[in-house]
Chain A
Amino acid sequence: MINRNTSPNLVPPTKINIPDAVFSTLKNNAPMLIINSGTQEVIKIDLIFEAGSTYSSHPIIATGCNRLIEEGSGQYSSAEISEMLDQYGAYFITESGNDFATISLYTTGKFIHQTLPVLKTILTEPTFSQEEIDTYSMQGKQRLAVNMNKVDFLARRNFLNALYGDNHPLGIITEVSDFDKLNKESLLKFYDKNYRNKLRAVVVAGKLSTVQEEEIKQLINGLNFQYSNANYETNIDTLNPKNLYISKKDSVQAAIRIGKKMFNRKHEDYFDFTILNTILGGYFGSRLMSNIREDKGFTYGIGSGLATDINDGYFFISTEVGASVLNEALKEIYFELERLQNDLVPDEELSLVKNYLFGSFQRSIDGVFALSERHKTLHLNNLTKDHYLEYIERLKNISSEDIRRCAQKHLVKNTLCEVVAGP
């Protein structure tokens, strides 16, 4: 008979192998990272620009420019651009964050030769025609109107505003009228300044032949974009923590956001806080999940996280709970925050979390695209692989006392903002 009552022997995590990216320098001095592995004939090319919201007068300009860049260029209409890519099963994903904007081409090895020229045209000669701007604005306005009916959206945007204020791109609240800021002139100006002149890095991932690598390199060298790696400073207003209630009548759930301004991955407490956050609300077995979902059944899900930028970051707890149990749920959240400051995390729980995070890190580098995301994060933060190796080391050494100290330093209730959107 096999013993079903106890777990098979566990092999504790030892070391981790992070496959390297191959670095080279482009003609304009911009770095190019190549992660050449994988089993499927697919290729992803990311061009990363210093063109996030930080660099625009209003985030809508940065986002709009990023989205509209593929909607027509040179002699091609938006329809023709889509047609040329769809024809080969390829697609663009464009992303715009606080620091960076990214244009990514997803294509197959079979058709990379046919799809690279499309990437070139959208990057070098976007049109930003009024017609496309109008379509984009109409879609954006409608989406905003729908979002205004979601408690989660209302809580999030008011929470970020409470943290960052009206002058920081993360804190700015976009209104319908802001779409009027989008016009050919404002977009072209932003594109010239921040895309043509601020290429930060190129990341290529997938299963590549030498010929394909060379072809990509040639294409990017031919763009004649300027390289930039600026160390900008952000001026952030100092705001006092506050509590807000946003009323959305008839909603059957209330959305909660609790948190504060925090730090980025270069801060001395970053690793400790990451581990502390996991215990609090960073995985399925976390204290918030165990208490508020798995014990009380107040919610479908609750979690916490640390969102980081190049210069700073913020901590948040997020959930949607039944409207009738809002106060009880809030009470339990603060109870869990205090417990971490008062009591030591039991050894059993800490060792579980360490093992979980170790496995989690392995998962985060599984597959060539996932691995390339890790290398991208390191590179954009001007960090090396040592950053992750130090993290793994800290994971092994951190004690319950360290966790409690970190909680006492960062999770004190009167430093936190609380935003609720509900009935």
Chain B
Amino acid sequence: MIQFEKFELANGLKVIVHEDNSTPLVAMNILYKVGARDEDPEKTGFAHLFEHLMFGGSINIPSYDEPLQKAGGENNAFTNNDFTNYYLTIPASNLETGFWLESDRMLSLAFTEKSLEVQRNVVIEEFRQRYLNQPYGDAWLKLRPLAYKVHPYQWATIGKEISHIEDATLEDVKDFFKKWYAPNNAILTIAGNCSVEKAKELCEKWFIPIPAVKLIDRNLPQEPKQTEMRRLEVRNDVPSNQIYLAFHSCSRYNKDFYATDLLSDVLSRGKSSRLYQQLVKEKKLFTDIGAYMLGDLDESLLLIEGKISDGVNPKEAEDAIFELIEELKNGITEKELEKIKNKAYSTVLFSEMSIANKALNLAYYEMLGDADLANQQEYIYNAISSADIINIAKEILVKENCSVLTYLSNKHD
């Protein structure tokens, strides 16, 4: 249970405060509701590149990191398909420095050519390090366009290709900022050694002067229903074969999300789960296998990915997954249901161990509609029945809703 208070500034910035005086620190989390799905299909990777530029100095402050470190603070950020999140932790006595820094970069950035040029290179190295220079690193770059034909989820946050990042201009950067980085498109959480009064006072001083912008309707193209199985086979210089199955599933906003999430848990949560026990331990077709929900804000994917044991035919491995899925549709036991609910309960508790995580959780659920959802997760999961889970399985775990990527080793035949 995370206690909090919530208020909104005149410029539309939503603020959530969780006071915890047992820590000498404060965590400050700002979530901007913009992600890779908001990019131009010809300029992908931009939301993430932009995140890097947010550290390249703001309108009145030449460096973001230096003053923060001087105040004993530390920060980081991440971008996904739906939102971009910035967070810092700082000793409570220096909290105002956090407000000064975060409000100035919400007001405007410095937009220097040097910063753009350097961060373009840094992001290109990130692209190489994480996606090109790792075995199977490009699997997602291939899987997304297979599963999505029109929706922007067809590209990864890093972007479709390096050239999109190389071609980014300062004009693009400015436009992107003007469109999305505004108080009425953000959620600010303050968690830790800071009272609500103090947070209000600092918000009024630093954030109120920032004007709201007129937000445009996203109007993203919706993905048409998939009607037949899609396949892609990749051969590459990797040691073993892997398989990825992507099934279209509902959006995070949909009430069916919870049953779908539990469905992925029945499949693969813990070593006692069906996929691991049957396919790794008993049949030894895989050395590892897992299933998970992406939980995107628009219609999303349920993923099954497995590392196929050497010497096993990939088709045989794939058939075994579908066999297991069919068996699951016959029902799950009460004990299994209780197990995944207990797991959902402990996962929530373990995700709230630090003030930084609490701050992020509150901002995330506020984006979904209400910060208090953070405290309701346990009850929502508890209300799901076996029938709910089976119905989702029957609806989405079917071949015509599936995209299969088989990533094969050159060494095998």
Residues of A within 8 A of B (CB): 2, 4-5, 7-11, 13, 17, 37-42, 78-79, 82-83, 85-91, 106-108, 110-111, 135, 138-139, 142-143, 145-146, 148-151, 250-253, 283-285, 293-300, 320-322, 351-353, 355-356, 358-360, 362-363, 366-370
Contact = CB atoms under 8 A, between A and B. Distances in A.
B69 A368 contact: no
A7 B100 contact: yes
9 contacts: A4-B59, A7-B100, A39-B22, A78-B271, A79-B271, A320-B129, A352-B70, A359-B89, A367-B354
A296 B118 contact: yes
Nearest to B307: A142
A17 B23 CA distance: 10
Interface stretch (B256-264, B315-323, B344-352): B344-352
Interface in B317-367: 335, 338-339, 342-347, 349-350, 352-355
A8 B96 contact: yes
Interface stretch (B171-179, B212-220, B235-243, B390-398): B235-243
In this complex, which of A41, A111, A295, A355 has the most chain B Cβ atoms within 10 angstroms of its Cβ?
A355
Contact of B97 (A10, A250, A352): A10
Contacts of A150: 133-135
B121 interface: yes
A40 B352 contact: yes
Interface in B94-112: 94, 96-97, 99-100, 103-104, 107
Contact of B240 (A146, A299, A367): A146
B343 A89 contact: yes
Contact of A83 (B132, B272, B347): B272
Interface residue tally of chain B, by bracket? Answer: 35 or more
A356 to B, nearest CB: 4
Nearest to A322: B125
B194 to A, nearest CB: 14
B346 A90 contact: yes
B239 A142 contact: yes
Nearest to B282: A79
B129 A352 contact: no
Interface in B54-93: 59-61, 65-67, 69-74, 89-91, 93
B231 interface: no
Given A79-B271, A355-B71, 16 more contacts: A2-B206, A37-B22, A82-B271, A87-B342, A89-B347, A90-B346, A111-B342, A135-B281, A253-B129, A284-B65, A300-B125, A351-B70, A352-B69, A356-B72, A363-B74, A368-B353
Nearest to A286: B69
A297 B117 CA distance: 8
B381 to A, nearest CB: 11
Given A7-B97, A83-B272, A297-B119, A148 B239 contact: yes
A132 to B, nearest CB: 9
B66 A135 contact: no
